[in-house]
Amino acid sequence: MKTIFPVSWIRKASVALAVALFAAVPAWAGKYASIVIDVDTAQVLHARDADEIRYPASLTKVMTLYLVFDAIDSGKLKLNERMTVSKAASRQQPSKLGLKAGATIKVEDAIRALVTKSANDVAVVFAEKLGGSESKFVAKMNAKAKQLGLEKTNFQNASGLPNRKQVTTARDMAKLAEAMFLDHKDRFNYFSLPSFTWNKRKYENHNTLLKKVAGVDGIKTGYTNASGYNLMASATRDGHRVIAVMLGGTSGRSRDQHVSDLLEAAFMELSGAPATSLADLRERISFGERGNATADDLALNQLRKLSDPGADPIGDLIASATDDGDEAGTTEEGDDGVEVAEGEDTGEVAQGDATGEESSTEPAKPAVAGSVAAQPIALTGATAPAAIPASEAVLVTSEFTGDSSILPVVDVATLSLN
């Protein structure tokens, strides 16, 4: 005889279990890291654990796209060219478009799919097209990473799907974002696409800061269980371009708010705002992304780690009770898209029809405010004391490491990658 457990009871019991563990298990397993730079001057406006090893998740696709744009610039690839989908590409884990082996996809559609849907099958299509195989393309990725000065980054695949050896740092990801902007300005506006439509299904860009924060015009989000919630953001105001990178968030919501805080604080610093105006932002930033995480965010994060569907019935119950749309193997927050009517306006930049067969016309070049200095980001170590007063949380050209034990946040176990 089966016993049916109400989902609401399971959810309450599961959350209570996670909250009860908060005081018993030490902090965060080193996922969080962040950095903010002023692209115009190459100044580091904020850094916290910026040189510590982390997992890039879908931020990997920024390097994949960098090489795609290189190939377009050199004439090796054309926007209206069609690429064939292999069996290996079609078998990639979500997030994906669900491309079938033997099907084809235009280069420009594929670019848009990577930017918005963060499709892993599309990443492999590009890798095989440009490298002959994904492994050979990865060698090109690592060669380019070395050329760009990404000193602690190593790629193992083109998508960001879990791999223990696929690692990076917040500083390296900021360098990559800076290089993408400086070297491919004429294509950078792809990262500001609000949505992408494929086979009558509309996929919203996961980077919600595009709609919420003034001046944000890219660049990429990412998520795996091991990485946490990552975000690489670029914004421009009053002639200043700022890039912010945060890795290892507890939830998409708190990550987005934290990066928003980092950007706001950076622009206020650059505009000479008085310290009193920055006080609240500095206090939140001094706690890292935890300063914006609710109790529900933290509890559900622990439950996501505790759950191991298929391992035991309890794990299955917890997983079903706390499913928020994230997929264990995914490199994104995941969505299934929204059905759109034939010919419906998708709100995309330079879009064609609503079936995924879009215009091959190159997007208009974005306006670039202010002068841009092409200097690399300085690699300087974090030498400040571990405990940082909130008033000093954001200082131009200052870097610091934070005290990770400020809050009794639990990480039940260091989550291993599949």
- Indicate which residues carry an active-site annotation: 58, 61, 118
Beta bridge partners of 33: 247
Mutual orientation of helices 60-74 and 134-147 as an angle, nearest 10°? Answer: 90
Taking the C-alpha atoms of residue 119 and residue 123, their distance in angstroms, rounded to an integer, is: 7
- Are the C-beta atoms of 46 and 384 separated by less than 8 Å? no
Mapped onto helix, strand or coil, the DSSP state of residue 94 is coil
Mutual orientation of helices 170-183 and 60-74 as an angle, nearest 10°? Answer: 20
- Are the C-beta atoms of 224 and 54 separated by less than 8 Å? no
Helix (H), strand (E) at residue 247 = strand 240-249
Closest CA to 325 of 149, 94, 148, 139: 94
Residue 137: count other Cβ atoms within 10 Å of its Cβ: 23
- Which residue has 């604080």 as its token pair? 265
Taking the C-alpha atoms of residue 153 and residue 62, their distance in angstroms, rounded to an integer, is: 13
DSSP state of 102: T
| Tokens read off for 165 | 């050896």
Taking the C-alpha atoms of residue 71 and residue 66, their distance in angstroms, rounded to an integer, is: 9
Each residue of 49-74: b (16+ CB within 10 Å) or e?
bbbbebbbbbbbbbbbbbbbbbbbee
Measured at the CA of 138, the angle between CA 107 and CA 77, to 5 degrees, comes to 25
Q: Which amino acid is at 31?
A: K
